[in-house]
Amino acid sequence: MKFYMTPGSCSTGIHILLEEIGKPFEVYLVNLLAGDQRKPEFLAMNPKGTIPVLVRDDGSVLSEFQAIAYWLARAFPKARLLPEDEEQVVRVIEHMGYVTATLHGQGFARIFTTDTFTPNPEDYPAVLAKGRELVEQGFQVMEDRLGDGWLVGERFSIADAALFYVEFWASRSDIKLPPRCQAHFERMLQRPAVRQVLAEEGYRV
């Protein structure tokens, strides 16, 4: 498989899942700041111009965090990335969707790419404030869903990989995680796959 990613981005979550599975894959770095995602060769593969992207062994292309994560879990069941109970699977998808669409897409996106939400620089402080508000509210929602360990059930799942990447962003900013989210983040940091991925992406654990 070929994995197109950017270190420290949402693709870090997929990178972790790939390492959890243990199947060899090739990594292709996409420099978002340099505009690699807008180059013709990348758009020919993924017209949305987004990461992560996974090219499977048969040459077919998958994009979007949720789709890639779900396919990896189903394609490699021995990794046990999804619960066995179908109701818990639904909850995994629910939480993963909230993290990627709201915490990331509405909250952190306003913080990281403020200019895409308004053409007027005078509006930047308001956009940033709204982004922070959404992030803090989002982490509180996740706080209320977390038990003493993982998001759903008693095992790590693809939803935990999604939550981790936004927790990682918070850890590298001045956003304080609620207690259970902080404990979840620290628990994730103890997983060998997570430590390996962060090292490979250039971050100190």
- Model pLDDT for residues 133-147, shown as the tens digit of each residue: 999 999 999 999 997
How confident is the model over 179-190, as a mean pLDDT?
A: 96
How confident is the model over 125-129, as a mean pLDDT?
A: 97
Given 47, 79, 111, the domain boundary residue is 79
Q: Is residue 202 part of a domain?
A: no
Q: How many residues does the chain have?
A: 205
One domain, residues 19 and 53: yes
Number of helical (H) and strand (E) elements in the chain, helices listed first: 9, 4
Helix (H) or strand (E) holding 21: helix 11-21
Print the domain residue range for 121.
86-197
* Number of domains present in the structure of the chain: 2
Given 58, 79, 100, the domain boundary residue is 79
Residue 60, pLDDT > 80, answer: yes
Pairing of strands 26-29, 53-55: unpaired
Amino acid at 28: Y
One domain, residues 63 and 160: no
SS3 assignment, position 91: helix
- Please state, rounded to an integer, the average pLDDT across all residues of the chain: 96
